[in-house]
Structure 1
Amino acid sequence: MKQARPLPPYLVQRYQGWRATTFGENRSWYRRLAEVGQHPRAMVIACCDSRVHVTSIFGADTGEFFIHRNIANLVPPYLPDGQQHGTSAAIEYAVNALKIAHLVVVGHTNCGGVVGCHAMCHGNAPELEEKSSFVGRWMDILRPGYERIAHLPDDQQIAALEQQAVLISLENLMTFPFIRENVEAGSLTLHGVVHDIGEGTLLEYLPETDSFTLLG
């Protein structure tokens, strides 16, 4: 692969600092993780957005979360069609192999994917309508969510669609037979939150009120 290049210097320096401090001070813990394997209690499905730092938000240690990130923290419906499905594969591994107890979908404010979906559904993003657009076809998952919030005033739609990105994902998770089986057996719980990047808060979805409520 002739196009690959050495890491940029700032990443090399950060790695060297991490290995000398964080790793060096916890060497036995990292060795134990390497020897006994991972046993995370929870899986987190979050957005790729660099501003959403789920391990920091929940104070998680190395080895505590099994994390999958994609555009707009979306979960597609169960579709065993023999094609490549990265998100579905990660979920299958977390539930069936790692036996996680909790699965948390983390949405966030100012999500570019959600904004793109909103523009596409409004007919204002023709580039996302192209069959060749990976982002557009991925955001098709959220179209049902847009239909639910299209009646709201324009200035409320984006925030509502960010919440729908979490709800659609939770609903789609329940289309996976192994998810439904474990949820009904009580061995797995599903959770949904929206992280406000600017305020540092979490809105948690409560099924009893079918609404998102400020946590803590």
Structure 2
Amino acid sequence: MKEHVRPLPSYLVERYQGWQATTYTENRAWYRRLADEGQRPRAMVISCCDSRVHVTKIFGADQGEFFIHRNIANLVPPYNPDGDHHGTSAAIEYAVRNLKVAHLILLGHSNCGGVAGCCALCEGNAPDLETPDSFVGTWLNLLRPGYERVKDIPEAQRQQALEEEAVKISLENLMTFPFVREALDDDRMTLHGLRIDIGEGKLYEYDPKENSFAAI
């Protein structure tokens, strides 16, 4: 390991030093308060790892406002306390039980590579994702039920439809967590499903009554 761990690239060091000299210095008291008093985020956001999805900038959020968890294709697995490692489930448990967030937000996005990978996997066009040692392939199988719902629509519309299914499947799976359902039933938390169009900058919200997404 020693020969592979290297100093941070200079451009990142320079950016950090710029942040420390300006943003941090100008708000030192606020950062120290956050450190001393701990976090009290109002919402948890589950979004994709995609570098183009900048959650805090989309909503103009400041430090301490969002508890953010990111993974491939913004997916939530069903509740399954089987003793294995579950990073997403652990993050949800901590946000709901310990931080007691008031809002739990699922945020999908356009042109999602994970969703495209799921399409290819389900259509038999991604042999590298079908191998037992593919963490990505195993993870994307969570979205397979969503693919089954949209597989018969025109190919040109399938990607967006499956991106929406990624949000809906995750909302459905969230409801299998007893502590999530309890918080919702007690009106201590609300659930939200969103999809951002990266190129257009438009945010769409899921309406379960209409089973569709509409622009906000």
The TM tier, using the shorter chain, reads over 0.9
Amino acid at match of 1:68: H
* Equivalent position of 1:79 in the other structure: 80
- C-alpha distance in structure 2 between counterparts of 1:201 and 1:131, whole Å: 38
Amino acid at match of 2:165: Q
* Equivalent position of 2:39 in the other structure: 38
* Equivalent position of 2:123 in the other structure: 122
Q: CA offsets per residue over residues 177-209 of structure 1, 9 Å max, x none? A: 000111111111110100100001111001121
- C-alpha distance in structure 2 between counterparts of 1:211 and 1:169, whole Å: 15
- C-alpha distance in structure 1 between counterparts of 2:144 and 2:189, whole Å: 27
Amino acid at match of 2:97: N
Secondary structure of 1:81's counterpart equals coil
* Equivalent position of 2:183 in the other structure: 182
- C-alpha distance in structure 2 between counterparts of 1:163 and 1:134, whole Å: 22
Q: Does 1:62 align with 2:63?
A: yes
| Amino-acid identity (%) | 68
Q: 1:42-191 to 2 correspondence within 5 Å?
A: 42-191=43-192
- C-alpha distance in structure 2 between counterparts of 1:54 and 1:146, whole Å: 26
- C-alpha distance in structure 2 between counterparts of 1:126 and 1:16, whole Å: 44
* TM-score between both structures, scaled by the size of structure 1: 0.99
Amino acid at match of 1:160: A
- C-alpha distance in structure 1 between counterparts of 2:211 and 2:159, whole Å: 18
Q: Does 1:19 align with 2:20?
A: yes
- C-alpha distance in structure 2 between counterparts of 1:155 and 1:200, whole Å: 21
- Cα RMSD of the aligned pairs, angstroms, is 0.6
- Structure 2: stretches of 5+ with no match in the other structure: none
- C-alpha distance in structure 1 between counterparts of 2:212 and 2:112, whole Å: 19
- Structure 1: stretches of 5+ with no match in the other structure: none
Secondary structure of 1:132's counterpart equals coil
* Equivalent position of 1:207 in the other structure: 208
